[in-house]
Amino acid sequence: MLDNKTIEIIKSTVPVLQQHGESITGRFYDLMFQNHPELLNIFNQTNQKKKTQRTALANAVIAAAANIDRLGHIIPVIKQIGHKHRSIGIKPEHYPIVGKYLLIAIKDVLGDAAAPDIMQAWEKAYGVIADAFIRIEKEMYEQAEHQTGGWKEYKPFVIAKKVRESKEITSFYLKPEDGKPLCEFQAGQYISIKVRIPDSEYTHIRQYSLSDMPGKDYYRISVKKDGVVSSYLHNKLHEGDTLEISAPAGDFVLDFSSRKDLVLLSAGVGITPLISMLKTSVSKQPERQIVFIHAAKNSEYHALRDEAEEAAEHSSVKTAFVYREPTEKDRTGNIQFHEGQIDQQYLKALIANTDADYYICGSPSFITHMHKLVSELGSAPESIHYELFGPQLSMAKSIS
């Protein structure tokens, strides 16, 4: 536990962190990678170049400082980050390294404003925060390894099938190389894959949502080609090749204890966790009323549409597709779609009972817009769940 003086000092630094947070985290990453380049095998360098990782870390530091006297308020966020850490292989021995260079970065950026008492308080506070992460992640590692069909860290899987789903998205059906049964996962979870790309100095780790329902003899990921790793998967890996993957992780999962209607809102490759939720809910809760809404550029970019339409054969499911740039074939064919964007009027026409559970996945702008529209329907904040691919840029939902 932290003493009152330390808590008071940490909370007093929140305005300074809000002003200089990204400068501090940028300096932190520069220092850490200069002194520990081996960590480049773990961290996503694309996020580093885009500076989204430093923004996410800055938000985490600010939230921790603001809630240092009530860390229980941010346990959901610690667990969310913990899932990511477990899936990529962050270990207890990494935390002293992070702490060392974070404190140096704070001192470097704040200069004389980082008085000795402030640095001492932050050293104590970091220890408490790190202990919370280590404790939670230890439980996650043990659960992943000791569950039925589970394993430790990474395990080789064979690409059993590779299917092109749209102009940008290809599905990979993955089976364990050792032929052993798969551990179960929850609809909405993801796996991390680790690849070694020729002529690249470091390994690359990326997360991809599991895009089929649990209970199969394979895991499926449906990957949009938009970066170094996804291009390597699309262009260089074929059926029969192997991938190293971690056990499923993530807390963006379908709540089967709820009896509310279900509304699934996705755009682009954001369909991947939601198609798993759709198919799983139809299987396990056939009586549950579901509205599935997906936005895409047009049918050429619309992956997994057939699977959504198959689910809609159940009387409890209503599907709706929104194309912002439909092709002539779309307009003259048999595809049912709404042209344009998802707006309030469109949602009201589709959702008969707004007292529902909402799950949203897509780009940051899509999530922000859908969250606003759904909130304006009068939905309770705790009924709105979303998954942002990439670093969690805002922690507001967990500390409000």
| pLDDT of the residue at 389 | 64
| Cα–Cα distance, 203 to 196 (Å, whole number) | 5
Answer yes or no: do 76 and 158 share one domain: no
User: How far is residue 156 CA from its own chain's centroid?
Assistant: 22
* pLDDT tens column, 24-56: 999 999 999 999 999 999 987 777 776 777 888
Residue 66: pLDDT over 70: yes
Answer yes or no: do 12 and 107 share one domain: yes
Among residues 177, 212, 246, which one ends one of the domains?
A: 246
Cα angle 376, 377, 380; round to 5: 90
Q: Average pLDDT, stretch 319-334?
A: 94
Residue ranges at the known binding site for NADP(+): 268-273
The residue annotated as part of the active site, out of 137, 165, 168, 387, is 137
Task: Give a yes or no: residue 253 inside a domain.
Answer: no
Task: Give a yes or no: residue 188 inside a domain.
Answer: yes
Per DSSP, what are the bridge partners of residue 339? 323
| pLDDT of the residue at 73 | 86
Average pLDDT, the chain: 92
Higher per-residue pLDDT: 77 or 267: 267
Contact predicate 232/197, CB 8 Å = yes
| pLDDT of the residue at 51 | 72
Task: Give a yes or no: residue 256 inside a domain.
Answer: no
pLDDT band at 390; cut points 50, 70, 90: low
Stated pTM of the model: 0.92
Residue ranges at the known binding site for FAD: 190, 206-209, 388-391
Residue ranges at the known binding site for heme b: 85
| pLDDT of the residue at 396 | 39
Calculated CA dihedral for residues 200, 202, 206, 212, nearest 10 degrees:
70
**Catalytic residue at 137?**
yes
Q: Of the candidates 17, 15, 13, 45, which has an alpha carbon nearest to the alpha carbon of residue 29? A: 45
**Catalytic residue at 95?**
yes
Strand 242-246 and strand 317-323: the pairing is unpaired
How would you class 260 by CB atoms within 10 Å of its CB: exposed for 0-12, middle for 13-18, buried for 19 or more?
middle
Among residues 212, 246, 280, which one ends one of the domains?
A: 246
Task: Give a yes or no: residue 20 inside a domain.
Answer: yes
Contact predicate 342/370, CB 8 Å = yes
SS3 (DSSP) at 293: strand
| pLDDT of the residue at 399 | 27
Which amino acid is it at 329?
Answer: K
Task: Give a yes or no: residue 95 inside a domain.
Answer: yes
* pLDDT tens column, 208-262: 999 999 999 999 999 999 989 999 999 999 999 999 999 999 999 999 899 899 9
* pLDDT tens column, 143-164: 999 999 999 999 999 999 999 9
pLDDT band at 177; cut points 50, 70, 90: very high
Q: Average pLDDT, stretch 185-192?
A: 97
Structure token digits, residue 327:
């092709």
The residue annotated as part of the active site, out of 95, 101, 173, 301, is 95
Residue ranges at the known binding site: 85, 190, 206-209, 268-273, 388-391
Task: Give a yes or no: residue 204 inside a domain.
Answer: yes
Please count the structural domains in the chain: 3
Among residues 99, 119, 146, which one ends one of the domains?
A: 146
Per DSSP, what are the bridge partners of residue 206? 193
* pLDDT tens column, 134-145: 999 999 999 999
**Phi, then psi, of 294 in degrees rounded to 5:** -130, 135
CATH of the domain at 389: 3.40.50.80
Answer yes or no: do 301 and 330 share one domain: yes
Answer yes or no: do 43 and 8 share one domain: yes
Give the range of the structural domain holding residue 234, as residue numbers without chain letter: 154-246
Q: Average pLDDT, stretch 77-94?
A: 93
Cα angle 185, 266, 373; round to 5: 125
Contact predicate 221/210, CB 8 Å = yes
Q: In which order are the strands placed within the sheet that holds 190-195? A: 204-209, 190-195, 242-246, 154-164, 169-176, 219-224
| pLDDT of the residue at 398 | 35
SS3 (DSSP) at 389: coil
| Cα–Cα distance, 139 to 244 (Å, whole number) | 22
Task: Give a yes or no: residue 255 inside a domain.
Answer: no
Answer yes or no: do 14 and 111 share one domain: yes
Give whole-number Cα distances, 136 to 77, 98, 158, in Å: 11, 17, 31
Answer yes or no: do 130 and 185 share one domain: no
Residue 334: pLDDT over 80: yes
